[in-house]
């Protein structure tokens, strides 16, 4: 008789454990053999609304991107809300910071044009790493978006400078 309802985390991956329990030849004596198999469950869902909780290195990173000091000072304390809509490999991401709204759409593994933090447009290919990370390289920067439960962490690295933004599902 199959048992399909056991879910657990193993080595950072979400796995489904499927046990097929079959009576052994000694069925009358009450003994059973168990054949166990595991299979990966599809990608974790990034979908939801997330509010910025904290950020590290915002000012130096924005300066390195070439944003004017006035914009950096104005933007550093603004509340930021990200909304992610996910349909399989297709993503729509809307980031609202103060009165500024940036909308990007992409499909995992396909070239897309997105708007960067400094307003510049760039062509990128977003890849999935594991089942909870979106990764891309753009204009000498590496961008990683990672979801863990109700927390989404956005890390952008340029040379030895890293911007880290942590948001919580609302």
How sure is the predictor about 43, in pLDDT bands with cuts at 50, 70 and 90? low
φ, ψ of residue 77 in degrees (nearest 5): -110, 5
CA dihedral 135, 137, 142, 143 (to 10 degrees): -40
Q: What is the pTM of this model?
A: 0.71
Q: Which is nearest to 11 in space by CA: 160, 121, 130, 145?
A: 130
Is 48-169 assigned to CATH 3.30.2320.50? no
pLDDT per position as a tens digit, 55-113: 999 999 999 988 899 989 988 888 899 999 999 999 999 999 888 899 999 999 999 99
pLDDT per position as a tens digit, 128-149: 999 899 999 998 899 999 999 9
Q: Vertex 49, ends 39 and 122: CA angle to 5°?
A: 85
The answer to whether 15 and 4 have CB atoms below 8 angstroms apart is: no
Could you state, in order of their start, the residue ranges of all structural domains in the chain?
2-40, 48-169
Q: Vertex 66, ends 61 and 67: CA angle to 5°?
A: 85
41: left (phi over 0), alpha (psi -120 to 50) or beta: beta
The answer to whether 127 and 145 have CB atoms below 8 angstroms apart is: no
């Amino acid at each position: 008789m199959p048992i399909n309802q056991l879910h657990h985390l193993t080595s950072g991956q979400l796995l489904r454990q499927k046990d097929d329990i079959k009576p052994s030849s000694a069925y009358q004596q009450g003994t059973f053999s168990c054949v166990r198999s595991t299979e990966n469950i599809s990608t974790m869902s990034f979908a939801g609304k997330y509010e910025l909780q904290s950020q590290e290195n915002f000012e130096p990173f924005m300066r390195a991107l070439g944003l004017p000091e006035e914009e950096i000072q104005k933007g550093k304390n603004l509340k930021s809300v990200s909304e992610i809509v996910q349909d399989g490999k297709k993503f729509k991401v809307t980031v609202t910071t103060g009165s500024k709204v940036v909308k990007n759409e992409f499909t995992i593994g396909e070239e897309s044009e997105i708007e960067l933090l400094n307003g510049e447009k760039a062509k990128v290919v977003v890849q999935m790493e594991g089942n909870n990370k979106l990764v891309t390289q753009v204009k000498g920067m590496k961008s990683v978006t990672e979801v863990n439960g109700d927390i989404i962490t956005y890390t952008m690295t340029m040379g030895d400078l890293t911007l880290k933004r942590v948001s919580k599902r609302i």
